[in-house]
Amino acid sequence: MRSLIAIISTFILTSFFCVSSFAQSCGSGGGATVCLSATGTSTSINLSWTVTGAISSVQVYRDTDSNPNGRSRIATVNSNTRSYTDTTAQAGTQYWYWIKFNAGGGSYNSGAATASLVSSCAGTAITPYVFVNGVWQLTSNVQISPGTEIKLGPQPWGTWSWSGCGTSGAEREQAITPTSSCTATAVYTNACGATTSHSFNISASIGNNWASAKIGGGGYIPGLIFHPTTPDLLYARTDIGGAYRWNPTTSEWVAITDGFSASEGFHHGTESMAIDPNDNNKVYMSTGMYVNGGNGRLYISSDRGDHWSHTELPFPVGSNNQGRAIGERMMVDPNKPSIVFYGSRTAGLWKSTDSGQTWAQVTSLSSYQIPSSTFGNFDFGSPMGIEFVLFDTSTRGSGNATQAIYIGVAPDYAAVAGLPYNIYKSTNGGASWVGVVTPVAGYHIPHIARAADGMLYVAFTMGAGPGANGPGRLYKFDGTNWTLLRSVDPTEWTSFGYGGLSVYGSGATTKIALGVTNSWGNWNGIPVVEFSEDAGATWREISGNKPHTPAGGVSGWIDDVEIDPFNPDRVLHVHGGGVWVTNNASAADPSWNEMIEGIEETAAVEITTPPAGASYVLLNSSLDVGTFAHTSLQTTPTRRMPFSSGVSVDVAWSNSSYIASIGAPSNATAGAFSADSGQTWTAFASYPPEATSNLSGESNIAVSSPGNIVWAVANKKPYYTTNNGNTWVATNLPLLDAFSVNRSYHVAADRKNPNKVYAYDHGGAWWGAGGKFYYSTDGGHTFTQSTDPTLTLRANYFHNTSLEVNPNVEGDVWMADGNSLYHSTNGGLTWEKLNAMASVWGNNESWKHPELFGANTVALGKPAPGSAYSAAVYMVGTINGVQGLYRSDDMGVSWTRINDDDHQFGGVGRVAADQSIYGRVYISGGGRGILYNY
């Protein structure tokens, strides 16, 4: 309950007096008639009378009942008087009045009139409250993003009526979702009938603020990094979706790499992170998704990741290569933090003495660098190299370089570099190294942990991961002796390995958390995280089959486990879909909760919006999770087609309840339709030839009307169905030429005329022959190529090109070929090439691949108020050398950038524009899920 607070606000009070007023009561005699009436106010009772005939000797009488016996005379007035005010009446008493008069020689009475004093009835002041941004606020003026649900809840309780902004009825609290600015008026009626009105002014407009459309987690978190001296300072690195910092105040993750541009998309994955134990603001991050993509970068922040600078590394890194949870490969010397060591995948051990600005190979270990031409000789093309760096010290900040250092050498680098050991130790700061004899050889060492007493705990496993297979071994090492603590070997049905490892404390009470990888399912006794509270003497399972909220899969890629250095009861572990945490690890049955609020690491392949009035706001097909119909942007969607990976989705514009989608098969389903807005799905009875073997992200579909679908099969050609996929017929579009990259036709249905369907061949890749456009007037059965000479489409990759139709006008088509934007108003017969955008080629002109694409994605949404053109046009491209997300409200004549340098998300991929809210646009970031502006 909220207390009433008196404030100055704009309201209108209607005040009046509640009165007793009766018709005249008449009496006659002697040829005269007198009619009396009485009216009560808050201070007096007013009498008035009319006279017919001649009267004299007029007297006023009063009584407290209607019986004239016992009445009292209260006044004698002149015979010409016609009114009297009784100021002696008492509140709460009903009075009866008479006029006694003489006429024609006799004495007579008027009829009795009754009245009483009443109190003043004034309107009641309204106290305005609005529930917005999660709290009740005392305000009449609200600024929101269009489509945001808010509640209007003025005080006091009582009788209300509403108008405006979608309000209605008599409920005091009104939940509304304004899509544009509006005014809501509340009218309150109090007990005595007085009314008060109050206006709520709601301003709804899109700003340059960005939020994630919630799915939740969705991706692999290879590493978690706690700061050892600052409570709750925790980082998460991802393989493709940047990095995050934990915010303990809001209990959510904050993305700290959203400022990475499209040109930095390759660096939106993080191979290793390192913190400075002496400076809780300093953090390092190595980036580069694949070792065959060139050398990596080191990003450096002095404000916990809010801002970054970077330097080029002299070796490649592989944030999305195999073994990406191994490490950490990078470590800051706790005693002299200007020294940073890095264990590279391909070039041995490296050292920086100037906080990462410059690097030199530690040739005292090895000078060998694996040639890039041989990367493919390694498992999955992923050399593992030097797997970890560990400073063997309990001190920090001494100013002298730490002398005792351990490093781990993967079996592959050990073999090619001629290093016979998997662990080496230096006692002179890296000047020389001595091999350490390990109890097992040829294994990977995914993690090593040092206890407070200097005891080392070392996990060995056969595979590199993610989800490394076994055998697995856990040992402790006192610098001389190895003691086996835990082991696991393959069986007929399992091949568990060890991944995550963390320790807390010292001596016989050392706590150990050990992640068991490659354990899949939810069967009784499944090992996930094994926990010891006595330095490995005894063990128990604390995650598998324990209470999890929400219930769901927790096994598989348990490649990192962390015990909070400030709370040993708090244990975190990663898996293929995010992070789990328990706060009662010492309990017999620890309870676990997802720790993924704020992390959105899905990779959306296609997103689209439905027509205004649909029961959902967004459709999305994403890798690894399937296809979703989002009914809310703030909650995890429950309407889902669970493909192993969603590939494409579209909606029938004439009936938004009908949705069709395709995806990588799950339970043998590669395509399905829904007739109830995504709540239930029916698998297609059949598929086009070779469709299921060509379900890359280039395959896509278009729905012209319910049951009528065109499926563009990647690397083949489009097919159509008129019966929900019971049969498929090939279109007459040319079969795509064999190519070294996946390619497909973009297909799109006209939203006003279902007989019109459009197809765009993007030409393959930048070395292709050029693109082509085709149009159909029979529902996508047969197509005709556009021959307009204006259409000089350059070849580019599928995902750097785009085809979109204006849903508000027939035949209004837009196309982006990666370099230019084209527009047709007659279904593709003729075209206009827009000139505002242009690719930036740099040194790439000779091989036709731009450094910055001129126009690679286009989308259309609700037009601006008063716009002469029927849609707002959105484009991802480059204007005046600046790449960004742009909007045009005048059919492409002028453009406004609607994101900024802090909101680039590693490059904007797909774009969809809202059909109900002007200015609202949905984008897929680089491994950042789906984001929208507000």
Q: Which residues are catalytic?
A: 239, 624
CB proximity list for 7: less than 8 A, separation 6 or greater = 127, 128, 138
Pairing of strands 141-144, 195-204: parallel
Other beta carbons within 10 angstroms of residue 593's beta carbon come to 14
Return the closest-CA partner of residue 434 out of 450, 423, 448: 423
SS3 291: helix
Run of H or E including 413? helix 411-417
Looking from the CA of 196 toward its CB, the CA atoms found within 13 Å total 22
Contacts of 439 (CB under 8 A, 6+ apart): 473, 475, 482, 484
- Paired with 255 in beta bridges are 244
Cα 883 to the chain's mean position, in Å?
A: 23
DSSP 143-184: EE-TT--EEE--BS-SEEEEESTT--SS-SSEEE--SS-EEE
Q: Which helix (H) or strand (E) segment is 618 a member of?
A: strand 618-622
Q: What is the C-alpha separation between 738 and 488, in angstroms, rounded?
A: 47
* DSSP count for the chain of H helices, then E strands: 1, 77
The answer to whether residues 516 and 527 touch, using CB atoms and an 8 Å cutoff, is yes
Q: Exposure of 665 by Cβ count < 10 A (0-12 exposed, 13-18 middle, 19+ buried)?
A: middle
Please say whether the beta carbons of 499 and 465 come within 8 A.
yes
Say how far apart CA 788 and CA 754 lie, in whole Å.
Answer: 23
State the DSSP code for 21: B
Distance in angstroms (rounded) separating the CA atoms of residues 512 and 418? 34
Cβ atoms of 723 and 778 within 8 Å: the answer is no
What is the DSSP code (8-state) at residue 307? S
Instruction: Check: CB of residue 38 under 8 Å from CB of residue 47.
Output: yes
Cis before 471? omega within 30 = yes
SS3 label, residue 411? helix
